[in-house]
Structure 1
């Protein structure tokens, strides 16, 4: 399986998808990357997404989860799908309270 994004150029995520962006929910950036999934098994019905930042371990002591989603039925997610679609379940990275954006 190959996952790509036009929001990542030369290994660097475009600033609008992170803390320097302009769209936030409860103080957290919410403008999600566009994703394309290719070369996955033929009978795949859904995908799960976990975008983890292991670079956060040295300063924070833990890995930061940027985005988690389950029951994703499309192999293409447009820019800002984390806010613009209700077609899949999303989690948050708040360890004190489990909730979804939906």
Structure 2
């Protein structure tokens, strides 16, 4: 069966659309990153996630997401949203905000 699971950094909003489906469900077991001490919440389609065989069918998805979270440190902790379909992991980074330069004198 075709599953799409998203891992979203706790305390942030999704950067891209969530997995397709009428309703989404947050899975019980988040992915923990020990390097930056942050949890990534796992989001999946509700109908697929209540299936009897969901844990066995998504084992590969979860291992890919865990590996992507660990490898996400190469991007300076800017990746807040990962998504996988079991074959490839997509990174979604928030747009970089450009701040104006600091004035040389205070008014």
Same fold (TM over 0.5): no
TM-score normalised to the size of structure 1?
0.26
- The structure carrying a bigger strand percent of its residues is 1
| Larger Rg belongs to | 2
Question: Which has the higher relative contact order, 1 or 2, with Cα contacts under 8 A spaced 6 or more apart?
Answer: 2
